Amino acid sequence: MKDTLLLSVLLIVADDLRPSLGCFGDTVVKSPNIDQLASKSNVFHNAFVQQAVCAPSRTSFLTGRRPDTTRLYDFGSYWREHAGNYTTLPQHFKSSGYITMSVGKVFHPGIASNHSDDYPYSWSTPPYHPSSYEYEKKKVCKGKDGKLHANLLCPVDVSEMPEGTLPDMQSTEEAVRLLKAVKDESHPFFLAVGYHKPHIPFRYPQEFLKLYPLENMTLAPDPEIPKGMPTVAYNPWTDIRKREDVQALNVSFPYGPIPRDFQLQIRQSYFAAVSYLDTQAGQLLSALDDLGLANETIVVFTSDHGQCTGLDI
């Protein structure tokens, strides 16, 4: 039996999730599972990301220090080597006797976490990464021509995907497996689950498109670039421009406008990816209930930063 005085922790981290959720007043997005969690939680309506880039943000909230302290503004340094040997949130729990586990994208992978997700400092066991993520930027999106492309918009038949699955599905399965494994441990656990969606490319099960008919989509307000805006304030979205469906638009660099119909499709796919994420989070939370762990586990749901879909980030 676990020490009943110590609660376990489930930290769920989304990737590029703006407050497009019902619990934040969004009337378009369908997010019943996250909304249900929010209904019995403390919800923060005035929270600000330290920097709206994956690695700096994740390093910041996992070390409790600002980017000016961690010296990370991009993806090219590891705080323990270039800033200071700062204790991380999971490391604190680990040193307090918790079993700490990482699934998916929690720390930003690569140089920013020493190519190890900060293992073994932060984690009791080696972090898990879904094998199907290697196909995320490959030609797996079936186009109107019937051929496979590396697209930005990529609703898929999961059964036709390499390995017959998607990264976030694998992460949910692994997280549930770990919950079952530690259910009867004497020590409490800290389990961090990092989902890849709704980060681009928008690769998700195609059935989620049905939730958002294109004829119901609207453009974001104020789509034009403000007059006199300095170039340093503009993001030309070079990563998005690499996608084949975007390249086919021949949008001029860096300020060329995206065609109206494609803007609507981007918003449609972003919302669909959010609902896909919501389903995965719901399965994970249901497992927590089914295993009898819900009443002894603190659940935290957050994102590394938002996403600009024509609205404020």
- Exactly one of 23, 45, 82, 108 is catalytic; name it: 108
54 is annotated as an active-site residue: yes
Cβ atoms within 10 Å of 185's Cβ, excluding its own: 12
Distance CA(82)–CA(73), nearest Å, equals: 12
- Exactly one of 45, 54, 129, 149 is catalytic; name it: 54
129 is annotated as an active-site residue: no
Catalytic residues: 54, 108
